[in-house]
Amino acid sequence: MSRRLLDDQDALSAFRARLLAWYRQNKRQTSWRDSGNPYHVWISEVMLQQTRVDQMAPYFERFIRAFPTLQSLAAASEDQVLKVWEGLGYYARARNMHEAAKRMAFELGGRIPDTYQGLIELPGVGQYTAAAISSIAFDRDHPVLDGNVTRVLCRLLRIEEEPTRAQVKARLIAAGEALLARGEAGDFNQAMMELGARVCTPQSPFCPTCPVGGWCRARAELDDPASLPRKVSRKQKPHYQVAAGLIRKGDELLIAQRPAEGMLGGLWEFPGGKQEPGESLPECLVREIREELGIEIEVGARLTSVDHAYSHFSITLHAFAARYVCGTPEALGCAAWRWIAPEALDDFALPRADRLIVEFMRECAQQMELFGEKK
Ligand code: SF4
């Protein structure tokens, strides 16, 4: 039965009916998809591009409270959007979403496009997101291909090649098209994603309880269905040492805004940068502050160090107390700079590693006498 699935109309109909019945009985309630509100579907799908459902849920609720409509999001400043997004990471998603909101509000009649083509032309919307929004919010017939669906398809069809290869991806998209329950694409896509998330899991698929196990080649033919999909051989990520300064002038601290383009673009941080070979961390900090802001500082004690992993590398961020000595700050290697009262740090969107430093320093504030509110 399994070999003929894609070519057998009866088998396809039975597969769709079984999967949809399982989904409708077992689906988890989600405020973003169940509402049927295209704005909610769009926001949630952008968040889900890099974040798991359970992690994303509280951020979604917070975001919708802050920006309940497309128009309110379009009217917000980028700083406000980044601040509400803070903690979700991959900040390009937030900047693109904000750009897309402005385009929809001011150029596209204040509505979210209801077609795949209209959606994919928006900033930050790729094939997966356009297919997910068009099918879930508007029941358009487009199959989604995210990590969960890719895993299910590789196992169902016993696809042994790495799914990241272009040829294999094309085969997966064609399989998704063939399997899709037309007219019920929203539920069908969610059913495939839910199957991957809850039954056909990465390490331990629950094959005996799988609603479509009767059509699955990996289950029928392999000792270990979890051996699919084939893993891409990954290079080890580089690790960098980074120094940052909590630079004081009187009661104020200096913060700098990262350039809009690039990683963590538009976020504010304690200035500093990557250690070069042969230099100590304090030397690194003095050099970075000179290059980034054109001022001289005196570096004091190391306050704390935090580890943080990004998608392609990881860092240890070492935070140093530092004292402003001379010079007028200029935005040489950053977008902007400000002297602020330490309490005002909460008004700025900070990267996760810098936020950890703030939390650590607040815990230690009485001893360090650094943060004004606890003096
Ligand atoms: S039978 Fe097992 S491997 Fe096949 S789709 Fe179901 S859970 Fe996945």
Nearest residue to 148 via CA among 90, 191, 206 = 191
Contact status, residue 328 vs residue 296, Cβ threshold 8 Å: no
pLDDT tens for each residue of 113-156: 999 999 999 999 999 999 999 999 999 999 999 999 999 999 99
Q: Give 28's pLDDT tier (boundaries 50, 70, 90).
A: confident
Q: Which residues contact 259 (CB under 8 A, 6 or more apart)?
A: 265, 334, 335
**Which residue intervals of the chain bear CATH 3.90.79.10?**
239-374
Question: Under a CB-based contact definition with an 8 Å cutoff, are residues 195 and 152 in contact?
Answer: yes
- The fraction of the chain above a pLDDT of 90, given in percent, is 80
Q: How far apart are the first and last CA of the chain?
A: 74
How is residue 249 written in tokens?
């002038």
Q: What confidence score (pLDDT) does residue 117 get?
A: 96
Supply the pTM of this predicted model. 0.76
Q: What is the pLDDT of residues 43-91, one digit of tens each?
A: 999 999 888 888 899 999 999 999 999 999 999 999 999 999 999 988 9
Closest CA relative to residue 82, chosen from 257, 214, 236: 257
Could you give the angle at which helices 9-26 and 185-198 cross, rounded to 10 degrees?
70
Average pLDDT score over residue span 352-374: 74
Looking at the annotation, which residues are catalytic?
45
Cα 14 to ligand 1 centroid, rounded to whole Å: 16
CA of 165 to the centre of ligand 1 (A): 22
* pLDDT exceeds 50 at position 97: yes
Taking phi over 0 as left and psi of -120 to 50 as alpha, with beta for the rest, 139 belongs to left
Atom of ligand 1 nearest to the CA of 205: 7
Domain with CATH 1.10.340.30 in the chain: 2-227
Among candidate residues 265, 288, 291, 264, the one with its CA nearest the CA of residue 275: 288
| CB 185, CB 155: distance < 8 Å | no
CB neighbours (10 Å) of residue 299? 20
Give the closest residue to 199 by CA, choosing from 362, 364, 18: 18
Query: Average pLDDT of 223-227?
Result: 93
Residue type, 186: G
* pLDDT band, residue 373 (cuts 50/70/90): very low
pLDDT at 183 over 90: yes
- What is the rounded CA–CA span in Å between residue 91 and residue 267? 8
Local confidence band at 366 (pLDDT 50, 70, 90 cut-offs): low
For residue 205, how far is the Cα from the chain centroid?
Answer: 25
CATH architecture of 2-227: Orthogonal Bundle (1.10)
Give, using CA atoms, the residue closest to atom 1 of ligand 1: 213
In the block, tokens 């250690």 appear at: 275
Pocket of ligand 1 (CB under 6 A): 152, 155-156, 199-200, 205-207, 210, 212-213, 216, 218-219, 225
Predicted confidence (pLDDT) at residue 109 exceeds the cutoff of 90: yes
What is the overall mean pLDDT for the chain?
92
The per-residue pLDDT for 107 is: 96
How many residues are there in the chain? 375
In angstroms, the CA 345 to CA 362 distance is: 11
CA nearest 127: which of 85, 177, 77, 81? 177
How far is the centre of ligand 1, averaged over its atoms, from the C-alpha of 147 (Å)? 15
* Residues of the chain above pLDDT 70, percent: 96
- Looking at domain 239-374, its CATH architecture is Alpha-Beta Complex (3.90)
pLDDT of residue 262: 83
Residue 2 predicted with pLDDT over 70 = no
Question: What is the number of the ligand 1 atom nearest to the C-alpha of 228?
Answer: 3
pLDDT attached to residue 51: 85
Give per-residue pLDDT as tens, 321-349: 999 999 999 999 999 999 999 999 999 99
